[in-house]
């Protein structure tokens, strides 16, 4: 599929621009989300962008997507570069998640 081999959405004909094409396009480089039409951007697509490159993609994610649900998924999936990139209200939750993950890893190592 061409979406996985280009950084320019404009070369993909409009008739071929499906949800799956947008997912593939954004998964290769999170910042590509800025080229996706606003009406095609949803939480799922933004999370895919974050998986690709959270630090860079975050600035292109529309504010209306950044809901409690979105941030909880970002934290659960550890889709952030550093805790200070998260809104302050979610930073404690991220620390707790990281500490829990670290403790679980220590338990596996000591077995």
pLDDT band at 10 (very low <50, low <70, confident <90, very high): confident
Cα gap 48→52, rounded to integer Å: 6
Virtual torsion, Cα 79, 85, 89, 95, nearest 10 deg: 60
- pLDDT tens per residue across span 14-37: 999 999 999 999 998 999 999 999
Confidence at residue 4, expressed as pLDDT on a 0 to 100 scale: 53
């Amino acid at each position: 599929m061409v979406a996985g081999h280009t950084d320019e959405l404009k070369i993909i004909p409009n008739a071929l621009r499906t949800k799956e094409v947008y997912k593939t396009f954004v998964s290769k480089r999170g910042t590509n989300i800025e080229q996706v039409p606003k009406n095609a951007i949803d939480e799922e697509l933004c999370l895919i962008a974050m998986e690709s490159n959270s630090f860079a993609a975050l600035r292109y994610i529309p504010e209306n997507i950044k809901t409690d649900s979105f941030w909880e998924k970002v934290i659960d999936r550890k889709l952030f570069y550093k805790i200070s990139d998260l809104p302050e209200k979610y930073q404690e939750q991220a620390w707790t998640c990281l500490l829990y993950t670290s403790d679980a890893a220590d338990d596996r190592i000591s077995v």
